[in-house]
Structure 1
């Protein structure tokens, strides 16, 4: 069996690209003399910070142009600052809660039983986009009620800027060599340092040697993180931006938010055919993946928002 797998792997890997050999850390500071170990400023963290900051700036730029919304901006700069705080909190708490709810409780109960505190150790990895989306929705609901702001226009702003954070997040996944794709012999194949654990578990990076650790057979895989960065981030960002700046889409409350949900659900469902499912959730029926299943409510909600935004409005009677 070993010889057979080797024969399969060699031709597949021969013409494939190799994962770029860069460190996942921008720089490291040795604090062991203080008993604090080694601090690593990772590209992963910087990507999330950059995504949030750019989204913040883009949202602020839209609010400065009331004509985009039909004459009056739905929020002030102070409102936006408050909104972003709650959204960041929603992303973190919702993303982790979603991972525990959608992945750990159904598939990793043994992990929770052996170490109950694992559910809160967010630094060990494990974030769900769909959980983060729920957290963002709750945050927008809370802040719209607290500050008496219109809900749908806030959702539209989020629908425009969310792809920025998603795109940077997927690029961060690529830098971390995690959530890579299924095996392929196509020209897009790339050999990732897969580490010891099969599936999308992040591989080992030898910080002492300053290099990735390759183990086992070198299979070419789809760089699905880059597919997701494009289809879940870049494409929705470009389409939404054209619609709001050229066609006044923000004047129809709920339209952009609905289109974002539809575009993300479509992009995610397409990429799921190339992305390697988590090893503990790879036996779902009908060839479905957890990402496809969790995207279904996005299709439904997005379709309703678009329909509600585009349906003819009743004329007011004038006596």
Structure 2
């Protein structure tokens, strides 16, 4: 059994205001995504996106926050929030859903791109390859907070988490940081801009990387959910699946649909 590092979730405080590791992880993820998208847009000569980068990023951040919160409220604890509706706005108490945040970001992206004459599928591919960086740091933030820990285990690397009872548990946050962060980033970044056929000038159709992200994330999340403690207010659902697994099945189906559609509609479009 490994010792859980006793890390203070608060980095420092100034009066009533506190700077937390979890919030810092979000900031690092957003900044890294901004820099890498700007790098890609400049490399491919997509100057129009560069001119909209600040406003588009702001729209996506708002979409992530609103979607993530609504996803948690609707999927993970609707009964509580129906009884305490004002708590829906208390995001500082925690409670964000990745699937909801992803939906919110995609919705915000579609709206912004359509209103400003940007190609959504092309923009989505540039952004989505950077998302695993935010997932990596976000899961590290979960680990530092001692939240979203795994199920009880006898493996040698199990940890006793604060609030997780006396039994050692899987550090499932680190599993997710590795799969959804490091592995997924390596997959997406290694194939972006690469030919998807033997013809060297035939690149992946726009939207393909978004589809691949949705599919791979869903597979990794589905696997890790077998090691992650189910939300206590929900437990396991039909057929013994967790809510995260159910939502991942829907996300994977959407990814497969996008992959199929973009492969037919766009047969190897090139970045300008």
| TM superposition score normalised by structure 2 | 0.90
Q: 2:169 aligns with which of 221, 227, 234?
A: 221
> CA 1:137–1:312 in 2, change beyond 3 Å: closer, same or farther?
closer
Q: Structure 1, unaligned stretches of length 5 or more? A: 1-15, 32-37, 67-71, 196-216, 315-319
Find the residue that maps to 1:281 and give its secondary structure: coil
Native 8 Å contact 1:153 1:250 kept in 2: no
> CA 1:247–1:238 in 2, change beyond 3 Å: closer, same or farther?
farther
Give the C-alpha shift of residue 75 in structure 1: 4.0
Find the residue that maps to 1:28 and give its secondary structure: strand
Q: Give me the CA root mean square deviation.
A: 1.9
Counterpart position of 1:254:
207
Native 8 Å contact 1:112 1:118 kept in 2: no
Deviation digits for residues 168-211 of structure 1 (CA, Å, limit 9, x no counterpart): 1111101110000000001221111116xxxxxxxxxxxxxxxx
Counterpart position of 1:269:
222
Native 8 Å contact 2:230 2:236 kept in 1: no
Deviation digits for residues 211-261 of structure 1 (CA, Å, limit 9, x no counterpart): xxxxxx521100000111111121111111100155479642111000000
Q: 1:291 aligns with which of 244, 261, 264?
A: 244
Counterpart position of 1:82:
55
> CA 1:149–1:20 in 2, change beyond 3 Å: closer, same or farther?
same
Whole-Å Cα distance in 2 between the matches of residues 84 and 283 of structure 1? 36
Q: Which moved more, 1:126-135 or 1:158-167?
A: 158-167
Give the C-alpha shift of residue 138 in structure 1: 0.8
Native 8 Å contact 2:150 2:229 kept in 1: yes
Give the C-alpha shift of residue 76 in structure 1: 2.5
Give the C-alpha shift of residue 28 in structure 1: 2.1
| TM superposition score normalised by structure 1 | 0.77
Counterpart position of 1:10:
none
Give the C-alpha shift of residue 93 in structure 1: 0.8
Determine whether 1:98 maps to 2:71: yes
Give the C-alpha shift of residue 19 in structure 1: 1.1
Counterpart position of 2:199:
none
Give the C-alpha shift of residue 309 in structure 1: 3.5
Q: Please give the residue correspondences for 1:105-116 in structure 2 after superposition, counting only pairs within 5 Å.
A: 105=78, 108-109=79-80, 112-113=82-83, 115-116=84-85
Count of residue pairs the alignment pairs up: 262
Give the C-alpha shift of residue 308 in structure 1: 3.0
Q: Please give the residue correspondences for 1:177-192 in structure 2 after superposition, counting only pairs within 5 Å.
A: 177-192=146-161
Q: 1:65 aligns with which of 13, 37, 43?
A: 43
